Structure 1
Amino acid sequence: MTTPATTPPRLVLASASPARLATLRAAGVEPEVVVSGVDESTVSAASVAALAGRLAVLKAEAVAATLPPSGDGPVLVLGCDSMLELDGEPLGKPGTAAEATRRWRAMRGRSGVLHTGHHVLVLGDPARTSSAVGSTTVHFADLTDAEVDAYVGTGEPLQVAGAFTVDGLGGPFVRAVEGDHHNVVGLSLPLLREMLAGLGVAWTDLWR
């Protein structure tokens, strides 16, 4: 007798980040993308790591509230948020060229900690949840003023947490990373695997 195939979990990514989507796809996972619309400027926390974690929870919960019931197997909602901590200050997306330039002149030749909050909701009655924050130390190269101006001029650092990437034009300006480099991109695959396992979901079940 043949055992019927089980329906794979449906994963919904509560993030507009192209880097997070690309990271999941490269790991064999094809999520749905639903942007949360959470106003990050109204949220505060006791630490930068706690702020990243809180925002991840809010994003996942906001998207989960919009999803219709599904009878086709489990639905997982993943919320993430990244913040660079430098001198105890949370640095999200700079938004403007002037702010990105200011940050890079403060960051160059130094080290910061990139915190990424992760929150997973398994929808059901009751819902199951798991939260964790991954933290990775990032060592920045000592850029010249001309390099800072050229990088900011590309527009890339304006819309990414901490005003830098390791998987794009900013890669040459990161000397070293201590910890999971996926976490710096915006989503820690090893951490997410552990979180899902704790919720009874095998990572390999998400492979397309």
Structure 2
Amino acid sequence: MPFQRPEEIGYGHVIERYVTRKNSDHPRYLELNSRRVLRPGWPHAERFARHLSDDAATITDAELEALLGYEWRSRLTAAWLIGVDRREAFRGRISDLLLASEVCYSGGAYCFALARFGTHADAEILTAYLDRYLPRTDLRYDQPEALGALLRLDAHLGTHHAVLFTQPDGLWDQWVNALVHLRDHPDYTPSEQRRWTDLHCDFANGWART
């Protein structure tokens, strides 16, 4: 499906309103992608989180669709807003985008949204993604983020989907060892991926509206 610029479908305002937020110190998509929001002591955390939470609560489904139909910055931002507000109606759309892996960077945000939804259906989507992409030892897509989200869901649901991938010399180890720049890297362990997912979700839990 070809990408559509939001202005082509009557939503020209959504990029500046939600993605770049030009009245902010830095574009929102950049802050989300850099993980700066998770750094202790970041002085703008409260203001950033408040604005993110407000937008997640008020953005319309049509505006979210306009963002999801465009490029990676808008998709990343949309997935974060969906995850923060737990818009489970977008589960199927998020699943399709994650499995297609059409653009860079946004996949981690899809995994965050699925972790926030927190159901068996979301664990099945993440399992299907890892089934498809962990055997691709030539690619670094969003395998780490998907595994971290799945481990969190396993702990929450009492399931064991991730065991299929994390057993010694299993698909996770094979994938990491095949990519020279990841091999022996301390960040690429299952426990570290779970930790990052927990940090993202705890951040959202701390600020999302109830």
> Structure 1-normalised TM-score?
0.30
Q: Which has the higher contact order (CA 8 A, sep 6+)?
A: 1
More strand by share: 1
Larger Rg: 1
More helix by share: 2
> Structure 2-normalised TM-score?
0.30
